[in-house]
């Protein structure tokens, strides 16, 4: 309803109020979703899908969603995908995107100058499976050494002032860690206070057989 309201003629003051309502609603929705996901994980009720998907648009679209925020803050957004990374995978693209979005959102939130980058590389694999590494790097405020050991704990942030200034539930990274674990990988952070952070995680995906499913559709489309 606030989106419809914002599409109607409004004074500047009314538009500011409506934007605040929409922003607050989105923040509440994020909190609710985090709590629901955390509860599912704690109860062992969160199951991953296993469907065919194309990795490239998932990475590109995840980064593009932060394009407007980056322009407002005058930050650079960049992406690097190694040629060895396979495109056509089998797994849960929705939960995989959730991990990416959480890390990218944090990077944008805690970065005022410089930029945020997303990278993907091939670690190892077989003819049917691949272990991939993804990293989100920022030039933000960084994380104090004492906070690194608990940064992935539930309801934990670097310190109390972080919560007051930037908001958040302290659940996002804990959920990301649990999802990464369900995908057969691990997550870690490398950070220097004042110089930025790199959150890197691995995931294990099955490979789509050549000539089947999404892979086949892409090949056929390429000849069209």
CA distance 81 to 151: 27
pTM of the predicted model, to two decimals? 0.78
In this prediction, residues 151-165 reach a mean pLDDT of 58
In this prediction, residues 138-146 reach a mean pLDDT of 88
pLDDT at res. 224 = 43
Pairing of strands 88-91, 196-207: antiparallel
pLDDT at res. 130 = 96
What is the pLDDT of the chain when averaged over all its residues?
A: 85
Q: Who wins on pLDDT, 164 or 101?
A: 101
DSSP result, 23-74? HHHHHHHHHHHHHHHHHHHHTT------EEEEHHHHHHHHHHTTHHHHHHHT
Range with the lowest mean pLDDT among 11-25, 39-53, 183-197, 208-222?
Answer: 208-222
Residues in the chain: 224
Number of H helices, E strands in the chain: 9, 7
């Amino acid at each position: 309803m606030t989106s419809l309201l914002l599409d109607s003629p409004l004074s500047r003051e009314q538009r500011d109020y409506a934007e605040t309502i929409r922003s607050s609603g989105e923040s509440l929705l994020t909190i609710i979703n985090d709590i629901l996901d955390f509860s599912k994980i704690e109860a062992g009720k969160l199951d991953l899908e296993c469907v065919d998907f194309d990795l490239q648009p998932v990475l590109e679209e995840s980064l593009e969603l932060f394009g407007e925020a980056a322009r407002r803050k005058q930050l650079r957004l960049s992406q690097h995908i190694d040629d060895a990374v396979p495109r056509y995978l089998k797994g849960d693209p929705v939960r995989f995107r959730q991990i990416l979005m959480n890390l990218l959102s944090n990077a944008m939130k805690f970065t005022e100058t410089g930029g945020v980058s997303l990278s993907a590389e091939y670690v190892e694999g077989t003819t049917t499976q691949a272990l991939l590494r993804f990293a989100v790097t920022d030039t933000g405020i960084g994380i104090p050494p004492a906070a690194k050991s608990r940064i992935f704990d539930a309801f934990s942030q670097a310190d109390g002032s972080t919560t007051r200034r930037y908001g958040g539930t302290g659940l996002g990274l804990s959920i990301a860690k649990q999802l990464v674990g369900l995908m057969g990988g691990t997550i870690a952070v490398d950070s220097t206070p004042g110089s930025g952070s790199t959150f890197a995680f691995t995931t294990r995906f099955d490979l789509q057989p050549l000539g089947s499913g999404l892979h086949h559709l892409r090949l056929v489309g390429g000849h069209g």
